[in-house]
Amino acid sequence: MDGLDKRTLGRNIREARRQLGLTQEQMAERLEMSPEEYGRVERGNLAPRLERFLAICRILGETPERLMSARGAPAPEPRNPSQAPEERLRILRMTLAVNVREARQQLGLTQAEMAERINMPVATYGRMERGNLLPSLESFVAICRVLGDLAGTLLDPPRPRKRH
């Protein structure tokens, strides 16, 4: 993952939507966005916010890696769609925070070093690692690049730690 290619992302989203037989208007409605804004995403003119991108993945039953890459990857089963959107967003923020922090620490990087590598203010990066905000999709791709293409892993719930 060298960076976010919005055209490839848009093309992959469009293909997955068409395979499900959904219109752009239906996708826009499910995502609570205007059809014009959604069309800009599919044309590769607009990168959606990370939480909206993950909603697109959930609706289409696709992985983030599959939608962002030139090569396809198998689609996963959708995750717990019955949760309230606010709760899903909170869980996503916390999951990403824990996983990014652990991956960064395994590489021996400080928050300041990581923030510099992804071109993000240290204070903003710290808020993201505490689970207070989600990075933009572009920043998420930069984080994945620094941590070694872990998009799916970073979004998976952390495994419980063994107690000693």
Domain ranges for the chain:
6-68, 85-154
pLDDT at 85: 64
According to the model, what pLDDT value does residue 64 have? 84
pTM: 0.68
CB 98 within 8 A of CB 158: yes
Task: Identify the residue whose tokens are 């939608």.
Answer: 67
The DSSP 8-state label assigned to residue 107 in this structure reads T
Split at pLDDT 50, 70, 90, the class of 138 is: confident
Residue 71: pLDDT band (50, 70, 90) is low
Q: What tokens does 86 get?
A: 């606010």
User: Once rounded to an integer, what is the mean pLDDT over residues 101-125?
Assistant: 93
Name the CATH code of domain 6-68 (choices 1.10.260.40, 2.40.10.120, 1.10.3720.10, 3.20.20.60). 1.10.260.40
Tally Cβ neighbours within 10 Å of residue 31: 17
Q: How confident is the model at residue 34 (pLDDT cuts 50, 70, 90)?
A: very high
Angle at 7 between CA 118 and CA 27, to 5 degrees: 105
Domains 6-68 and 85-154 share a fold: yes
The mean per-residue pLDDT over the stretch 92-111 comes to 89
Return the structure tokens found at 84.
């309230």
Residue of 41, 35, 103, 31 lying closest to 67 (CA atoms)? 41
| CATH 3.40.50.720 corresponds to the domain 85-154 | no
Max mean pLDDT range (30-39, 72-81, 145-154): 30-39
